A and B are shown apart, each in its own frame.
Chain A
Amino acid sequence: MNSTTALWELPHRALSPTDIFAPVSTPAQSIFDLSLFVLGITGGIFVVVAALLSYSAIRFRKRKNDDGREPAQVYGSLQVELAWTLTPVLISLVLFLATARVIFQIQHPAPPPGAVEVTVIGHQFWWEYRYPGLKVVTANELHVPVSDPAHPTPTFLKLYSADTDHSWWVPRLAGKTDLIPNHPNSMWIEPRETGLYLGQCAQYCGTQHAKMLLRVYVESPEDFASWIQEQRQTVQTAPSDGTASEGRKIFERVACINCHTVAGTPANGRFGPDLTHLMSRETIASGAAPNTRENLRRWIENPNALKPGCKMPAMGLNNQQLDAVTAYLVSLR
């Protein structure tokens, strides 16, 4: 980790919010350092071989004043063959050793005492996040603390899938790891800068694979603690607003509660995202749209219009019912 300090100081001018060459987290940084080494070597090979190819194509082209005789026939040379066999063997070996070192660094970390544990469950087409130690359940937007090198607080993710294969990839934080049913995986991130980091599912998982977006909020320890605090509060069981309480009745009467949980109410489904603190999230439909009242209403009315092929059905609510259910959801803070 120490050897990378100099690179940490470099300003990260990311070409994209998902640029793999703008790491802000330890595993992504180790990969970045290795990738520079690999790019250097492969780039060097390219320059040498491409130059030789170009030279021989130009130098040995048939000239206009060609005498029509065949060139000298050369059948081979053992020494030359040995030279261009052994050199690549050595280069491959060096690359292998450099790679093996980083594999160990990333695959066998010792979790420090301050590490946060999160269980990630991939669903068609959204992410479930559970913080077992902190008793928090949320969806699609992961909150983690920033890690101070003096007191590291990396986040360790346990990866499961509820249905098909998925892959968790936030390029600036770490490489991707697949979520495979019946095959628990794990990975870790150790972000050094606060901010919002984006990514998305990287293993084809079905119709809406494209809109299974990832958002990771890296927060200061204080902000993270207050977010956890907020998420652990139970909701008011009876909304004060009349429309909202009407909406709650509809929500609990139609099939919504088969799939969604609102803690402290009869709604305890697990097929869809937990809605207990829905309004603490910035997006809906796994990052597909900003979490506004209008978008929520449109989403409930016909989820397929926003995200064709998603698993949430349209419940066939009329305008009045839609208003009421939207009002109820907006009250879930």
Chain B
Amino acid sequence: MSISLELPRTQPAIPFVDKLHQWVITVDHKRLGLLYITYALSFLLIGGIEATIMRIQLIRPHNDFASPQVFNQMFTMHGTTMIFFVVMPLVFGFANYLLPLMIGARDMAFPRLNAFSFWLMAFGGILLYFSFIGGYGLYGAGNAPDVGWFAYAPLTAQTFSPGHSTDFWTLSLLVSGFGSIGTAINIIATVLCMRCPGMTLGRMPLLAWLNLTMAGLVILAISPLTAAQIMLLVDRYLGGHFFDTQAGGSAVIWMHFFWVFGHPEVYVLVIPAFAFASEIIPVFSRKAIFGYPVMVAATLAIGFISMSVWAHHMFTVGMTSAANMFFVLSTMAIAVPTGIKIFNWLATMWGGKIHFRAPMLFCLAFLFQFLIAGLTGIMLSSAPFNWQLGNSYFVVAHFHYVIVGAILFALFGAFYYWFPKASGRMYSETLAKFHFWLFLIGFHLTFDFMHVPGMLGMPRRIYTYEPGRGWEIWNLIVTIGVLFQAAGILAFVANLFGSYFRGKNAGSDPWDAWTLEWSTHSPPPEYNFETVPVVKSRRPLWDLKHPEDPDWKYE
């Protein structure tokens, strides 16, 4: 049933410098999407190396592989890099690449703003890493930030963080933050204004709905972070005292500013993961998504509630019992729409014919791991339990379950699902399965066992620990898991490169899928569609392939 429309692969040879120039000046949403993704993948490797350094240091008590100074820089850089320069750009990259194709548009609403936003984010990341060379801080020259990724006041004050290492952190997030806001505005405008004829809001692919919600959250979340960074700069250089506790400032206000960004941010990252699962699971189960309107409603509910849960990161800072109870309730409330999503994906698989190709395997692992992450989240939301578990390795394990177990797994699924579309080549299924199993084993060795030392009293962010606390064996297993994860990543990178150059021709619709991006060529031409498509249902290609039983009869 697949539609095959192929462009000839012969192109006139262009000199390399000209090619590079075309990429630098591009305003094409697909090229910018790929730039975001390539950029994020390089930072993924850097962030992974930083994590590995920490894990080697913690393999046994009183290890001296990394000094406390180096270790503290590693966890600060690892956290900042992975959130702002890996997952955010990956999410934006996929949104950029896919949204216009999936809603039948020729580009994003503001192509030049799109390019500008990308370059802001790119230079933000470079600024952060320049601190390794040009930063001057507590330990002299070449000093990366070491205040932790949430940079609690007053550790960031000049008194405790002299020099410029903290400023590199601040400025880098300030710059990339403006880029994020630009992209968010672009996504909202694109989804609201650029849909092809017939595609009402209720007929958009779920991915569009989810990215719309994500973009709304970016605007709401990044703005307070940006404001806080400016206030911190005022404190450090213009004699302000917002967070300067020695002059009557408030450390707690910084926490509120940071987490009112920080918690919606988690949803900024995980909602696109939901989006991938919502596209991939139906196609590989060969069924329409179950409960489309409920999925949309649950997404919006998550978006709204996620703005009111931030202080569950602050149960230990001594809030009143009324405040504690409010944040317990709001946090537990968000479990409801999240649960609805899991049940709808389950119901989509129910009664289907599930094809276990790499994208689906990653999405299945996503489902299980997101379930566990959600349940440990409920444990942490119970404030008294949080007084024990908070800031321990249990928390570290919990949020890595979200970010790696759920988000990164869904992203890998998305990579394999759309790789044939973006490259025109099919990836190697064998290598993809190697990647899946190695990464799955590594992930579980590392992050399942990481919960245990947390429950045995091991706080996060310690460069070493005392022997005899029952933490040794767990830390050893956690570090061993890193080897498997690294091997999995290696298989992934090998697959991307190998398949890009030597993969089989994928055709325009290798998955027999239903959304508009599969109706154009692989890779899509610059203008995306020869003629702007017209749709009558949520699955335009299903209608085309099953004229006897089209969706629009039932929606």
* Chain A positions near chain B (C-beta within 8 angstroms): 15-21, 28, 30-31, 34-35, 38-39, 42, 45-46, 49-50, 52-53, 56-57, 60-63, 66, 70-77, 80-81, 84-85, 88-89, 92, 95-96, 98-100, 102-104, 106-108, 124, 159, 163-165, 167, 169, 171, 174-178, 180-183, 185-186, 198-211, 213, 308-309
Q: Which residue of B lies closest to A165 (CB)?
A: B152
Q: Which residues of A contact B245 (CB under 8 A)?
A: 180-182
Cα of A102 to Cα of B324 in the assembled complex, Å: 11
Q: For window 280-309 of chain B, which residues contact chain A by CB distance below 8 Å?
A: 285-288, 290-294
Chain B positions 321 through 350: 1 when the CB is less than 8 Å from some CB of chain A, otherwise 0: 100110011001101100110111011011
B384 touches A61 (CB 8 A): no
10 contacts between A and B (CB under 8 A): A53-B371, A70-B353, A89-B336, A95-B332, A163-B160, A181-B251, A183-B317, A183-B318, A210-B461, A308-B68
Q: Which residue of B lies closest to A45 (CB)?
A: B375
A81 touches B353 (CB 8 A): no
Cα of A95 to Cα of B285 in the assembled complex, Å: 35
Q: Which residue of A lies closest to B378 (CB)?
A: A42
Chain B positions 440 through 471: 1 when the CB is less than 8 Å from some CB of chain A, otherwise 0: 00000000000000011111111111101111
A178 touches B324 (CB 8 A): no
Q: 10 tightest A-B contacts by CB? A: A175-B387, A18-B457, A16-B470, A210-B462, A181-B245, A185-B318, A76-B291, A16-B456, A202-B459, A92-B332
Cα of A106 to Cα of B388 in the assembled complex, Å: 13
> Which of A19, A100, A108 sits near B457, CB closer than 8 Å?
A19
B459 touches A60 (CB 8 A): no
Cα of A179 to Cα of B324 in the assembled complex, Å: 17
Q: Which residues of A contact B251 (CB under 8 A)?
A: 165, 180-183
Q: Which residues of B contact A207 (CB under 8 A)?
A: 68-69, 72, 138, 146
Q: Does B246 contact A (CB under 8 A)?
A: yes
In the complex, what's the smallest C-beta–C-beta distance from A257 to chain B, in angstroms?
23
Q: Which residues of B contact A50 (CB under 8 A)?
A: 368, 371
Q: For window 248-294 of chain B, which residues contact chain A by CB distance below 8 Å?
A: 248-252, 285-288, 290-294
> Which of A108, A163, A167, A213 sits near B391, CB closer than 8 Å?
A167
Q: Does B359 contact A (CB under 8 A)?
A: no
Give me 15 other A-B pairs in contact (C-beta within 8 A), A81-B344, A182-B248, A210-B465 excluded.
A16-B456, A31-B384, A31-B385, A62-B354, A66-B353, A73-B549, A76-B293, A163-B154, A164-B154, A169-B457, A171-B457, A177-B318, A200-B457, A204-B155, A207-B72
> Which of A85, A100, A177, A309 sits near B387, CB closer than 8 Å?
A177
Q: From known contacts A209-B461, A308-B67, infer whether A164 and B317 are also in contact, taking CB-CB under 8 Å.
A: no
Q: Does B379 contact A (CB under 8 A)?
A: yes
Cα of A30 to Cα of B287 in the assembled complex, Å: 48
Q: Does B148 contact A (CB under 8 A)?
A: yes
Q: Which residues of B contact A39 (CB under 8 A)?
A: 379
Cα of A319 to Cα of B340 in the assembled complex, Å: 71
Q: Which residues of A contact B290 (CB under 8 A)?
A: 74-77
Q: Which residues of A contact B386 (CB under 8 A)?
A: 175
Cα of A203 to Cα of B335 in the assembled complex, Å: 27
> Which of B329, B367, B385 sits near A38, CB closer than 8 Å?
B385
In the complex, what's the smallest C-beta–C-beta distance from B393 to chain A, in angstroms?
11
B375 touches A309 (CB 8 A): no
> Which of B72, B291, B324, B352 sits near A71, CB closer than 8 Å?
B352
Q: Which residues of A contact B499 (CB under 8 A)?
A: none
Q: Which residues of A contact B246 (CB under 8 A)?
A: 181
Most chain A beta-carbon contacts within 10 A, residue among B252, B387, B466: B387
A167 touches B356 (CB 8 A): no
Cα of A96 to Cα of B329 in the assembled complex, Å: 6
Most chain A beta-carbon contacts within 10 A, residue among B68, B325, B464: B68
